Amino acid sequence: MDIELVSLTKRYGDTVAVDGINLKIRSGSYCCLLGPSGCGKTTTLQMIAGFLTPSRGTIRLEGRDLTQVHPSKRGLGIVFQSYALFPHMTAAENVAFGLEMQRVGKAERTERVRAALAMVGLAAYEDRHPRRMSGGQQQRVALARALVIRPSVLLLDEPLSNLDAKLREEMQIELRQIQRNLGTTTILVTHDQGEALSLSDRIVVMSKGRIEQIGTPQDTYERPASAFVAQFLGKTNDFSARVEGAAPARIVVGGWSAPAPVGVRGPVTVSVRPERIGFAQDGLPARVAARIFQGNHWLFQCETECGPAIVVRPNDGLPQPGEGEAVRLAWRQDDMSIRDGSLSAGAAA
């Protein structure tokens, strides 16, 4: 079901945790609230869940106002960061708990619990207690418990943050597959940029209680709407640049230049992702300060007249510049974003 937040606000005295955000999440989509600690993403999720009462604004599910509805009556599934499993209950008993609260009959309850555990790959763990399960298995039990009640919306509060890197990556794939198979509207809260990029259909980047940008993972990454988004969502290079000439004007960054988008003038900042920069015959003069091998790619730290630059190049077996070597950096016009304090646009827009 569609879920809509209208002027949603949460205040604690003089502190504004969530500042009048407006957001519509389409039915069946996977939406991620992304931002640093204290940005308001978890507070927003808790208001949707009903654990916190908004200071102002409304929460609508398929047009129905949920703002004053008790959490148990909202029909939402929730997976917490701590999993919150009952230690004295088996996996099957944990998963069945919500169905018991809904007074689902025993035969149907047993069938749905088995189906939910099978869906998350734990069919053989029905009788196992949480203390005898790994972190990944406990996470799956928590997910099965949330899904077994057939929620209209699934809320995930940093559910993978307690897992090691390899298991977290595996669970990201499983979560996405399960969500696609069920078509459940899903809202994920995370501070992990990689998790947001790999899982979601839409990313909502938040800062200081406000929404900085909403977009697909690719658009948000490649065309950040602000300096905050550019810096928070992955690595980026910011170069001081100038606009020269008129009709047509050109953006100039050291020895690199390209046609300027219509309406861009004066001093600007050009942002380019590290993997979009290449070594070329002509371009911005630079010196390789450090070269770091990272398996499938090389990371170069370069010094330029426009400031430091990070360059990421694939490990394709070709010779790479060494430390101290003079190079020139270049990139395509479509691979940069431009800011001047009042303008935030992709160069190709």
Q: What was the pLDDT predicted at 340?
A: 64
Would you give per-residue pLDDT tens digits along the chain (349 residues)?
789 999 999 999 999 999 999 999 999 999 999 999 999 999 999 999 999 999 999 999 988 999 999 998 898 988 887 778 899 999 999 999 989 888 889 999 999 999 999 988 889 999 999 999 988 888 889 889 988 888 889 999 888 777 777 778 877 888 888 888 888 899 999 988 888 998 899 999 999 999 999 999 999 988 888 888 988 888 889 888 888 887 788 888 887 888 887 777 778 888 899 999 999 998 899 999 999 999 899 999 999 988 899 999 999 888 899 999 999 999 988 888 887 633 333 332 2
> What does the H/E/C string look like for 126-139?
CCCCHHHCCHHHHH
CB 85 within 8 A of CB 110: no
Please enumerate in sequence order all residues whose Cβ is within 8 A of that of 337, keeping only pairs 6 or more positions apart, or say none. Answer: 222, 223, 224, 230, 270, 271, 272, 344, 345, 346, 347
Tell me whether residue 126 is exposed, middle or buried, using C-beta atoms within 10 angstroms of its C-beta: 0 to 12, 13 to 18, 19 or more. middle
> How do strand 56-61 and strand 3-12 relate by DSSP bridges?
antiparallel
- Domain end (from 224, 251, 277): 224
| Pair (68, 128) in one structural domain | yes
Q: Other C-beta atoms within 10 Å of 336: how many?
A: 26
> Is 48 part of any domain?
yes
Q: Looking at the 3D structure of the chain, how many domains does it have?
A: 2
> Is 134 part of any domain?
yes
- Domain end (from 183, 203, 224): 224
- Domain end (from 162, 193, 224): 224
| Pair (217, 246) in one structural domain | no
| Pair (176, 266) in one structural domain | no
> Is 229 part of any domain?
no
| Pair (332, 216) in one structural domain | no
The whole domain housing 317 covers 235-346
> What does R_g of the chain's alpha carbons equal in angstroms?
24
| Pair (205, 303) in one structural domain | no
| Pair (117, 217) in one structural domain | yes
Q: Other C-beta atoms within 10 Å of 243: how many?
A: 18
